[in-house]
Protein backbone atom coordinates (compact mmCIF):
# COMPACT_ATOMS: atom_id res chain seq x y z
CA UNK A 1 0.00 0.00 0.00
CA UNK A 2 1.45 3.31 -1.05
CA UNK A 3 1.90 6.09 1.44
CA UNK A 4 -1.01 8.52 1.73
CA UNK A 5 -0.28 12.17 1.15
CA UNK A 6 -2.36 15.28 1.72
CA UNK A 7 -2.81 18.14 -0.72
CA UNK A 8 -5.03 21.21 -0.79
CA UNK A 9 -7.26 22.18 -3.73
CA UNK A 10 -9.31 25.28 -4.47
CA UNK A 11 -12.91 24.12 -5.01
CA UNK A 12 -13.53 27.08 -7.32
CA UNK A 13 -10.67 26.93 -9.84
CA UNK A 14 -8.83 23.69 -8.99
CA UNK A 15 -5.49 25.30 -8.11
CA UNK A 16 -3.29 23.07 -5.90
CA UNK A 17 -1.43 24.15 -2.75
CA UNK A 18 1.02 22.47 -0.40
CA UNK A 19 -0.69 23.92 2.69
CA UNK A 20 -3.96 25.59 3.62
CA UNK A 21 -4.48 29.33 3.15
CA UNK A 22 -7.49 31.58 3.38
CA UNK A 23 -7.53 33.03 -0.14
CA UNK A 24 -6.81 31.33 -3.44
CA UNK A 25 -4.09 33.28 -5.25
CA UNK A 26 -5.40 32.18 -8.67
CA UNK A 27 -9.11 33.09 -8.54
CA UNK A 28 -9.01 35.37 -5.45
CA UNK A 29 -11.89 33.49 -3.77
CA UNK A 30 -11.96 33.16 0.03
CA UNK A 31 -12.42 29.94 2.06
CA UNK A 32 -12.54 27.67 -1.00
CA UNK A 33 -9.35 25.68 -0.29
CA UNK A 34 -10.01 22.24 1.18
CA UNK A 35 -7.78 19.31 2.15
CA UNK A 36 -7.93 16.07 0.18
CA UNK A 37 -6.18 12.80 0.86
CA UNK A 38 -4.65 11.36 -2.28
CA UNK A 39 -3.44 7.80 -2.72
CA UNK A 40 -0.93 7.16 -5.48
CA UNK A 41 -0.51 3.41 -6.03
CA UNK A 42 0.90 1.99 -9.22
CA UNK A 43 -1.79 2.77 -11.77
CA UNK A 44 -3.00 0.09 -14.15
CA UNK A 45 -4.32 0.47 -17.65
CA UNK A 46 -7.98 1.43 -18.10
CA UNK A 47 -8.73 -2.12 -19.20
CA UNK A 48 -7.44 -4.30 -16.39
CA UNK A 49 -4.33 -4.72 -14.19
CA UNK A 50 -3.24 -7.71 -16.26
CA UNK A 51 -3.59 -6.12 -19.67
CA UNK A 52 -0.57 -6.32 -21.91
CA UNK A 53 1.74 -3.36 -22.27
CA UNK A 54 0.70 -1.40 -25.35
CA UNK A 55 3.18 -0.65 -28.05
CA UNK A 56 4.69 2.81 -27.65
CA UNK A 57 3.48 5.45 -30.10
CA UNK A 58 5.89 6.57 -32.80
CA UNK A 59 5.96 9.98 -34.52
CA UNK A 60 4.59 10.19 -38.06
CA UNK A 61 4.84 12.82 -40.74
CA UNK A 62 1.57 14.70 -41.03
CA UNK A 63 1.20 13.67 -44.69
CA UNK A 64 1.52 10.00 -43.68
CA UNK A 65 -1.36 10.12 -41.18
CA UNK A 66 -4.48 8.50 -42.62
CA UNK A 67 -7.63 10.42 -41.66
CA UNK A 68 -9.85 9.11 -44.44
CA UNK A 69 -11.77 6.73 -42.17
CA UNK A 70 -12.62 9.38 -39.55
CA UNK A 71 -16.34 9.70 -40.24
CA UNK A 72 -18.55 11.58 -37.78
CA UNK A 73 -21.26 9.58 -36.06
CA UNK A 74 -24.73 10.80 -36.95
CA UNK A 75 -26.81 11.31 -33.79
CA UNK A 76 -30.07 11.49 -35.82
CA UNK A 77 -30.81 14.75 -33.99
CA UNK A 78 -30.51 17.69 -36.38
CA UNK A 79 -30.03 20.34 -33.69
CA UNK A 80 -27.38 18.31 -31.82
CA UNK A 81 -25.53 17.57 -35.07
CA UNK A 82 -25.57 21.25 -36.03
CA UNK A 83 -24.06 22.41 -32.73
CA UNK A 84 -21.35 19.71 -32.84
CA UNK A 85 -20.46 20.59 -36.43
CA UNK A 86 -22.00 17.62 -38.24
CA UNK A 87 -21.98 14.79 -35.70
CA UNK A 88 -19.84 13.18 -33.00
CA UNK A 89 -16.16 12.71 -33.82
CA UNK A 90 -14.83 9.20 -32.94
CA UNK A 91 -12.56 9.30 -29.89
CA UNK A 92 -13.81 12.71 -28.76
CA UNK A 93 -14.89 13.74 -25.27
CA UNK A 94 -17.96 15.99 -25.07
CA UNK A 95 -19.09 17.75 -21.88
CA UNK A 96 -22.74 18.86 -21.55
CA UNK A 97 -23.55 21.31 -18.75
CA UNK A 98 -26.76 22.93 -17.58
CA UNK A 99 -28.92 23.84 -14.60
CA UNK A 100 -30.71 21.13 -12.58
CA UNK A 101 -33.97 20.05 -14.21
CA UNK A 102 -33.22 21.74 -17.53
CA UNK A 103 -33.29 18.42 -19.45
CA UNK A 104 -29.66 17.28 -19.84
CA UNK A 105 -30.36 13.63 -18.99
CA UNK A 106 -33.54 13.65 -21.08
CA UNK A 107 -31.67 15.01 -24.12
CA UNK A 108 -28.87 12.43 -24.01
CA UNK A 109 -31.22 9.53 -23.18
CA UNK A 110 -33.43 10.57 -26.09
CA UNK A 111 -30.41 10.67 -28.42
CA UNK A 112 -29.10 7.30 -27.16
CA UNK A 113 -32.52 5.74 -27.85
CA UNK A 114 -32.40 7.00 -31.45
CA UNK A 115 -28.89 5.80 -32.27
CA UNK A 116 -28.50 2.67 -34.41
CA UNK A 117 -25.09 2.09 -32.77
CA UNK A 118 -24.47 0.08 -29.63
CA UNK A 119 -24.75 2.69 -26.86
CA UNK A 120 -23.85 2.38 -23.17
CA UNK A 121 -25.68 4.85 -20.92
CA UNK A 122 -23.98 4.95 -17.51
CA UNK A 123 -25.93 6.64 -14.72
CA UNK A 124 -24.67 7.37 -11.25
CA UNK A 125 -27.76 9.33 -10.23
CA UNK A 126 -30.74 7.13 -11.18
CA UNK A 127 -31.57 3.44 -11.01
CA UNK A 128 -32.25 1.33 -14.08
CA UNK A 129 -35.99 1.28 -13.34
CA UNK A 130 -36.14 5.07 -13.09
CA UNK A 131 -34.38 5.42 -16.44
CA UNK A 132 -36.74 2.82 -17.93
CA UNK A 133 -39.75 4.92 -16.80
CA UNK A 134 -38.39 8.00 -18.57
CA UNK A 135 -37.46 5.97 -21.66
CA UNK A 136 -41.04 4.70 -21.97
CA UNK A 137 -42.28 8.29 -21.88
CA UNK A 138 -39.84 9.21 -24.67
CA UNK A 139 -40.97 6.15 -26.68
CA UNK A 140 -37.71 4.42 -27.68
CA UNK A 141 -37.21 3.30 -31.26
CA UNK A 142 -34.10 1.12 -30.91
CA UNK A 143 -32.85 -1.86 -28.93
CA UNK A 144 -29.18 -0.84 -29.04
CA UNK A 145 -29.18 1.17 -25.78
CA UNK A 146 -27.72 -0.51 -22.67
CA UNK A 147 -28.26 1.01 -19.21
CA UNK A 148 -25.65 0.64 -16.45
CA UNK A 149 -25.93 2.11 -12.95
CA UNK A 150 -22.38 2.32 -11.62
CA UNK A 151 -20.09 4.98 -10.17
CA UNK A 152 -16.70 3.24 -9.91
CA UNK A 153 -14.66 3.77 -13.08
CA UNK A 154 -12.87 0.41 -12.79
CA UNK A 155 -16.21 -1.45 -12.87
CA UNK A 156 -17.43 0.71 -15.74
CA UNK A 157 -14.36 -0.15 -17.82
CA UNK A 158 -14.89 -3.88 -17.17
CA UNK A 159 -18.41 -3.61 -18.56
CA UNK A 160 -17.16 -1.54 -21.50
CA UNK A 161 -14.54 -4.19 -22.29
CA UNK A 162 -17.22 -6.90 -22.27
CA UNK A 163 -19.88 -4.93 -24.20
CA UNK A 164 -17.60 -3.00 -26.61
CA UNK A 165 -20.07 -0.10 -27.21
CA UNK A 166 -19.77 2.37 -30.09
CA UNK A 167 -20.55 5.35 -27.83
CA UNK A 168 -20.50 5.88 -24.04
CA UNK A 169 -22.66 8.40 -22.14
CA UNK A 170 -21.83 9.25 -18.51
CA UNK A 171 -24.48 10.84 -16.25
CA UNK A 172 -22.74 12.55 -14.52
CA UNK A 173 -18.96 13.05 -14.18
CA UNK A 174 -19.41 14.42 -10.62
CA UNK A 175 -20.79 11.05 -9.41
CA UNK A 176 -17.84 8.93 -10.61
CA UNK A 177 -14.95 7.89 -8.39
CA UNK A 178 -11.74 6.00 -8.95
CA UNK A 179 -9.92 3.60 -6.62
CA UNK A 180 -6.70 5.48 -7.26
CA UNK A 181 -7.95 8.56 -5.38
CA UNK A 182 -9.02 8.47 -1.73
CA UNK A 183 -11.18 11.61 -1.78
CA UNK A 184 -14.97 11.52 -2.16
CA UNK A 185 -16.93 11.72 -5.42
CA UNK A 186 -17.25 15.20 -6.86
CA UNK A 187 -14.00 16.48 -5.41
CA UNK A 188 -11.41 18.22 -7.55
CA UNK A 189 -8.99 15.31 -7.62
CA UNK A 190 -11.69 12.72 -8.36
CA UNK A 191 -13.11 14.71 -11.29
CA UNK A 192 -9.63 15.20 -12.78
CA UNK A 193 -8.68 11.53 -12.36
CA UNK A 194 -11.95 10.11 -13.73
CA UNK A 195 -11.87 12.47 -16.71
CA UNK A 196 -8.24 11.56 -17.43
CA UNK A 197 -9.15 7.83 -17.42
CA UNK A 198 -12.07 8.45 -19.80
CA UNK A 199 -9.86 10.51 -22.12
CA UNK A 200 -7.28 7.72 -22.20
CA UNK A 201 -10.01 5.19 -23.03
CA UNK A 202 -11.60 7.41 -25.73
CA UNK A 203 -8.33 8.19 -27.54
CA UNK A 204 -7.01 4.60 -27.47
CA UNK A 205 -10.24 2.96 -28.68
CA UNK A 206 -11.67 5.79 -30.88
CA UNK A 207 -14.90 5.52 -28.87
CA UNK A 208 -16.69 8.86 -28.31
CA UNK A 209 -17.64 9.67 -24.72
CA UNK A 210 -20.32 12.20 -23.71
CA UNK A 211 -20.27 13.52 -20.14
CA UNK A 212 -22.99 15.36 -18.24
CA UNK A 213 -21.61 17.97 -15.85
CA UNK A 214 -23.28 19.87 -13.02
CA UNK A 215 -22.95 23.64 -12.86
CA UNK A 216 -22.38 26.02 -9.95
CA UNK A 217 -24.69 28.85 -8.88
CA UNK A 218 -22.60 31.16 -11.11
CA UNK A 219 -23.48 29.06 -14.17
CA UNK A 220 -20.03 27.52 -14.62
CA UNK A 221 -19.24 23.82 -14.91
CA UNK A 222 -18.73 22.46 -11.37
CA UNK A 223 -15.24 21.26 -10.62
CA UNK A 224 -11.84 22.50 -11.75
CA UNK A 225 -11.54 24.79 -14.75
CA UNK A 226 -9.01 22.34 -16.18
CA UNK A 227 -11.95 19.98 -16.85
CA UNK A 228 -13.12 22.22 -19.70
CA UNK A 229 -9.56 22.28 -21.10
CA UNK A 230 -9.27 18.48 -21.02
CA UNK A 231 -12.41 17.72 -23.06
CA UNK A 232 -12.80 18.37 -26.79
CA UNK A 233 -16.24 19.99 -26.75
CA UNK A 234 -18.13 21.93 -24.07
CA UNK A 235 -21.88 22.30 -24.62
CA UNK A 236 -24.24 24.42 -22.54
CA UNK A 237 -27.95 23.60 -22.26
CA UNK A 238 -29.79 26.80 -21.37
CA UNK A 239 -33.36 27.85 -20.74
CA UNK A 240 -35.88 28.73 -18.07
CA UNK A 241 -37.55 25.82 -16.31
CA UNK A 242 -40.78 27.86 -16.33
CA UNK A 243 -40.74 27.99 -20.15
CA UNK A 244 -40.77 25.16 -22.67
CA UNK A 245 -37.90 26.24 -24.92
CA UNK A 246 -34.28 25.11 -24.47
CA UNK A 247 -31.17 26.41 -26.23
CA UNK A 248 -28.04 24.32 -26.88
CA UNK A 249 -24.79 26.24 -27.41
CA UNK A 250 -21.14 25.24 -27.88
CA UNK A 251 -18.72 27.16 -25.66
CA UNK A 252 -15.76 25.17 -26.99
CA UNK A 253 -15.51 22.90 -30.02
CA UNK A 254 -12.25 21.53 -31.41
CA UNK A 255 -14.03 20.05 -34.42
CA UNK A 256 -16.46 22.78 -35.43
CA UNK A 257 -17.80 26.27 -34.91
CA UNK A 258 -18.86 27.68 -31.54
CA UNK A 259 -21.42 30.02 -33.14
CA UNK A 260 -24.06 27.41 -33.91
CA UNK A 261 -27.32 27.25 -31.97
CA UNK A 262 -29.74 24.38 -31.32
CA UNK A 263 -33.32 25.01 -30.13
CA UNK A 264 -35.62 22.45 -28.50
CA UNK A 265 -39.12 22.51 -27.09
CA UNK A 266 -39.74 20.54 -23.89
CA UNK A 267 -42.82 18.36 -24.18
CA UNK A 268 -44.31 15.53 -22.15
CA UNK A 269 -42.80 13.01 -24.56
CA UNK A 270 -39.32 14.53 -24.51
CA UNK A 271 -37.57 17.30 -26.41
CA UNK A 272 -38.82 18.34 -29.85
CA UNK A 273 -36.38 19.83 -32.35
CA UNK A 274 -37.36 23.33 -33.48
CA UNK A 275 -36.33 23.47 -37.14
CA UNK A 276 -37.77 26.98 -37.67
CA UNK A 277 -36.70 29.11 -34.67
CA UNK A 278 -38.50 32.19 -35.99
CA UNK A 279 -41.81 30.59 -34.97
CA UNK A 280 -40.86 31.01 -31.29
CA UNK A 281 -38.81 34.20 -31.55
CA UNK A 282 -41.53 36.29 -33.21
CA UNK A 283 -44.68 36.72 -31.16
CA UNK A 284 -48.10 36.28 -32.73
CA UNK A 285 -50.35 39.33 -32.24
CA UNK A 286 -53.59 40.43 -33.83
CA UNK A 287 -52.97 44.18 -33.74
CA UNK A 288 -49.92 46.28 -34.49
CA UNK A 289 -48.15 47.68 -31.42
CA UNK A 290 -45.53 50.40 -31.17
CA UNK A 291 -42.01 49.56 -30.06
CA UNK A 292 -41.72 46.24 -31.97
CA UNK A 293 -39.26 45.65 -34.82
CA UNK A 294 -38.04 42.48 -36.58
CA UNK A 295 -34.31 41.92 -37.17
CA UNK A 296 -32.60 39.41 -39.48
CA UNK A 297 -29.66 37.95 -37.57
CA UNK A 298 -27.34 34.97 -37.89
CA UNK A 299 -26.34 32.32 -35.35
CA UNK A 300 -23.48 30.45 -36.97
CA UNK A 301 -24.78 29.30 -40.36
CA UNK A 302 -28.43 29.63 -39.37
CA UNK A 303 -30.41 32.79 -40.19
CA UNK A 304 -32.96 33.85 -37.56
CA UNK A 305 -35.71 36.43 -37.53
CA UNK A 306 -35.96 37.84 -34.01
CA UNK A 307 -38.27 40.42 -32.46
CA UNK A 308 -36.84 43.48 -30.71
CA UNK A 309 -39.12 45.24 -28.22
CA UNK A 310 -38.47 48.72 -26.85
CA UNK A 311 -40.28 50.89 -24.33
CA UNK A 312 -39.50 54.61 -24.05
CA UNK A 313 -41.20 56.52 -21.26
CA UNK A 314 -40.67 59.70 -19.28
CA UNK A 315 -38.28 59.23 -16.36
CA UNK A 316 -40.15 59.41 -13.05
CA UNK A 317 -36.99 59.82 -11.00
CA UNK A 318 -34.10 62.15 -11.61
CA UNK A 319 -31.81 59.62 -13.31
CA UNK A 320 -33.29 57.88 -16.39
CA UNK A 321 -33.00 54.09 -16.51
CA UNK A 322 -31.31 52.12 -19.29
CA UNK A 323 -32.11 48.41 -19.23
CA UNK A 324 -31.45 45.73 -21.87
CA UNK A 325 -32.36 42.03 -21.80
CA UNK A 326 -30.55 39.83 -24.32
CA UNK A 327 -28.64 42.83 -25.73
CA UNK A 328 -25.43 44.61 -24.70
CA UNK A 329 -26.38 47.53 -22.44
CA UNK A 330 -23.29 49.54 -23.46
CA UNK A 331 -24.23 49.21 -27.12
CA UNK A 332 -27.75 50.39 -26.27
CA UNK A 333 -26.29 53.53 -24.68
CA UNK A 334 -24.18 54.08 -27.80
CA UNK A 335 -27.21 53.83 -30.11
CA UNK A 336 -29.17 56.24 -27.89
CA UNK A 337 -26.30 58.73 -28.10
CA UNK A 338 -26.28 58.41 -31.91
CA UNK A 339 -30.04 59.06 -32.03
CA UNK A 340 -29.64 62.14 -29.85
CA UNK A 341 -26.62 63.56 -31.67
CA UNK A 342 -27.38 62.68 -35.32
CA UNK A 343 -31.18 62.51 -35.45
CA UNK A 344 -32.06 65.17 -32.87
CA UNK A 345 -34.20 63.00 -30.58
CA UNK A 346 -34.07 64.10 -26.93
CA UNK A 347 -33.90 60.79 -25.07
CA UNK A 348 -31.61 61.92 -22.24
CA UNK A 349 -34.54 62.44 -19.83
CA UNK A 350 -36.43 59.27 -20.75
CA UNK A 351 -36.32 55.68 -19.52
CA UNK A 352 -35.43 53.16 -22.23
CA UNK A 353 -36.08 49.43 -21.82
CA UNK A 354 -35.05 46.92 -24.49
CA UNK A 355 -35.88 43.23 -24.75
CA UNK A 356 -34.96 40.46 -27.21
CA UNK A 357 -37.90 38.04 -27.23
CA UNK A 358 -37.44 34.29 -26.87
CA UNK A 359 -34.91 34.54 -24.05
CA UNK A 360 -31.82 34.51 -26.27
CA UNK A 361 -28.74 36.74 -26.15
CA UNK A 362 -27.71 38.39 -29.42
CA UNK A 363 -24.36 40.02 -30.10
CA UNK A 364 -24.77 40.39 -33.87
CA UNK A 365 -24.29 44.08 -34.81
CA UNK A 366 -26.78 43.59 -37.66
CA UNK A 367 -29.68 44.10 -35.26
CA UNK A 368 -28.63 47.71 -34.55
CA UNK A 369 -31.05 49.09 -37.11
CA UNK A 370 -33.95 47.10 -35.65
CA UNK A 371 -33.07 48.39 -32.16
CA UNK A 372 -33.09 51.98 -33.43
CA UNK A 373 -36.39 51.41 -35.26
CA UNK A 374 -38.07 49.93 -32.17
CA UNK A 375 -36.88 52.85 -30.00
CA UNK A 376 -38.17 55.41 -32.51
CA UNK A 377 -41.46 53.52 -32.81
CA UNK A 378 -41.99 53.53 -29.05
CA UNK A 379 -40.88 57.14 -28.63
CA UNK A 380 -43.31 58.39 -31.30
CA UNK A 381 -45.94 55.75 -30.38
CA UNK A 382 -46.22 54.76 -34.04
CA UNK A 383 -46.47 51.05 -34.88
CA UNK A 384 -44.20 49.63 -37.59
CA UNK A 385 -45.69 47.47 -40.31
CA UNK A 386 -45.68 43.75 -39.48
CA UNK A 387 -44.07 42.74 -42.77
CA UNK A 388 -41.00 45.01 -42.44
CA UNK A 389 -37.60 43.84 -41.11
CA UNK A 390 -34.08 45.27 -40.71
CA UNK A 391 -30.50 44.05 -41.17
CA UNK A 392 -27.76 46.66 -40.78
CA UNK A 393 -25.21 48.06 -38.34
CA UNK A 394 -25.28 51.64 -37.09
CA UNK A 395 -22.00 53.56 -36.81
CA UNK A 396 -21.12 56.36 -34.41
CA UNK A 397 -21.45 59.01 -37.10
CA UNK A 398 -24.97 57.82 -37.89
CA UNK A 399 -24.02 55.91 -41.05
CA UNK A 400 -25.71 52.60 -41.88
CA UNK A 401 -22.91 50.06 -42.21
CA UNK A 402 -23.02 46.84 -44.26
CA UNK A 403 -23.19 43.40 -42.61
CA UNK A 404 -21.89 40.04 -43.72
CA UNK A 405 -23.96 37.44 -45.61
CA UNK A 406 -26.77 39.88 -46.21
CA UNK A 407 -28.17 37.78 -49.07
CA UNK A 408 -28.82 34.88 -46.70
CA UNK A 409 -30.72 37.23 -44.39
CA UNK A 410 -32.79 38.59 -47.29
CA UNK A 411 -33.74 35.09 -48.48
CA UNK A 412 -34.79 34.08 -44.96
CA UNK A 413 -36.97 37.20 -44.65
CA UNK A 414 -38.52 36.46 -48.05
CA UNK A 415 -39.19 32.84 -47.06
CA UNK A 416 -41.05 33.96 -43.93
CA UNK A 417 -43.32 36.32 -45.86
CA UNK A 418 -41.78 39.76 -45.19
CA UNK A 419 -42.43 42.31 -47.93
CA UNK A 420 -39.69 44.88 -47.14
CA UNK A 421 -36.20 44.72 -45.67
CA UNK A 422 -33.97 47.70 -44.84
CA UNK A 423 -30.24 47.13 -45.45
CA UNK A 424 -27.17 49.28 -45.93
CA UNK A 425 -26.65 51.05 -49.23
CA UNK A 426 -23.05 49.85 -49.20
CA UNK A 427 -23.91 46.14 -49.16
CA UNK A 428 -23.10 44.37 -52.42
CA UNK A 429 -26.23 42.36 -53.24
CA UNK A 430 -26.05 39.93 -56.15
CA UNK A 431 -29.64 38.72 -55.92
CA UNK A 432 -31.39 39.25 -59.25
CA UNK A 433 -34.98 38.14 -58.72
CA UNK A 434 -36.65 38.45 -55.33
CA UNK A 435 -40.22 39.12 -54.35
CA UNK A 436 -39.11 41.14 -51.31
CA UNK A 437 -38.61 44.90 -51.57
CA UNK A 438 -35.00 45.77 -50.63
CA UNK A 439 -34.70 49.32 -49.26
CA UNK A 440 -31.15 50.72 -49.33
CA UNK A 441 -30.34 53.47 -46.81
CA UNK A 442 -27.02 55.16 -46.04
CA UNK A 443 -27.56 57.15 -42.85
CA UNK A 444 -29.86 57.10 -39.85
CA UNK A 445 -31.73 60.21 -40.99
CA UNK A 446 -33.08 58.21 -43.96
CA UNK A 447 -34.67 55.72 -41.56
CA UNK A 448 -36.17 58.50 -39.44
CA UNK A 449 -37.73 60.07 -42.55
CA UNK A 450 -39.37 56.77 -43.49
CA UNK A 451 -40.63 55.71 -40.07
CA UNK A 452 -41.63 58.97 -38.39
Binding residue positions for ATP: 98-105
Cα separation, 24 vs 14, in Å, equals 10
CA proximity to 278, closest of 306, 259, 299, 247: 306
As annotated, the binding site includes: 98-105
Contacts made by residues 140-144, CB under 8 angstroms, sequence distance 24+: 140/113, 141/113, 141/114, 142/113, 142/114, 142/115, 142/116, 144/115, 144/116, 144/117, 144/118, 144/119
Amino acid sequence: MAKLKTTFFCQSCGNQYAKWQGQCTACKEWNTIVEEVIQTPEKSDWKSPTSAVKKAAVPLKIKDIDASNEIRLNTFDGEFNRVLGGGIVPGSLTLLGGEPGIGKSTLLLQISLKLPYKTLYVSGEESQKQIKMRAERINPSTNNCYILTETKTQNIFKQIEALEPDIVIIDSIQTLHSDYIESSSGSISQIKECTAELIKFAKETATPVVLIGHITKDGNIAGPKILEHMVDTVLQFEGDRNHVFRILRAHKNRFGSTNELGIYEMQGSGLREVSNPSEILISKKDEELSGNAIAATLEGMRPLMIEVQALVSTAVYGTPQRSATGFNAKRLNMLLAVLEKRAGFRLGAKDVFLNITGGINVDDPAIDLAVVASILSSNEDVALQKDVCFAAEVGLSGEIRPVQRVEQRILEAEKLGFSTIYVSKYNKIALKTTSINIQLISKIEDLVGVLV
